Amino acid sequence: MVVSRDKAPTAQETFMQMAQAAGLRGRLLLTIGLLILARFGVFLPVPGIDREQLSTAIQSGNVPIAGILDFFSGGGFSALGIFALGILPYINASIILQLLTAAIPTLENLQKNEGEAGRRKISQITRYVALGWAILQSVGLAIFASQFATNPGTLFFVETVLAITAGSMFVMWISEVITERGIGNGASL
């Protein structure tokens, strides 16, 4: 393949170079595969929900905030899939930890003076806060979803909270794998 020396490479030349680089090709395929998996998980339904009743309520406007929640969850709210929360609990936990770092001297010391080990510790704390935040948000979704449940009750509530929390943690794991082994920042993608 000939690359122009006097001018910037064309898009076709850039894509050809990327396709020929084995390491980059593997990273790109991993990233695309995991992003496709995350999109499919949005539409994997939470068990025990009457889909027809849910879609009717959302389309009729009986749930006014549904449009905003559906936008932020990438369509997961209207489908009420197991990835309905997406990466939002992790993003919220990151923001909370950044604010707490300025307020709590121990966290500030970890961030500034401990180097890479401190950053790993803060990352681990962020994951735990994300888990707690995902549980809280899952409880809210389970309470909302109980009106559309085929068999509402304690078992439905627990199953829904577990499914949505596990889905959110799986999306968080996917984002970390993309960051480490794929291309780009996984949480942003």
**Cβ contacts of 102 within 8 Å, gap of 6 or more:** 108
What does pTM read for this prediction?
0.82
Predicted confidence (pLDDT) per residue in 62-117, tens digit? 777 777 777 776 666 777 889 988 899 999 999 999 999 989 999 888 888 888 88
Which of 112, 123, 115 is closest to 90 using CA atoms? 123
Predicted confidence (pLDDT) per residue in 106-138, tens digit? 988 888 888 888 889 999 999 999 999 999 999
What pLDDT is attached to residue 111? 86
Q: 23-181 — its CATH code?
A: 1.10.3370.10
Burial of 80 (0-12, 13-18, 19+ CB in 10 A): buried
E strand or H helix at 180, and its extent? helix 154-181
Every domain of the chain and the residues it spans: 23-181
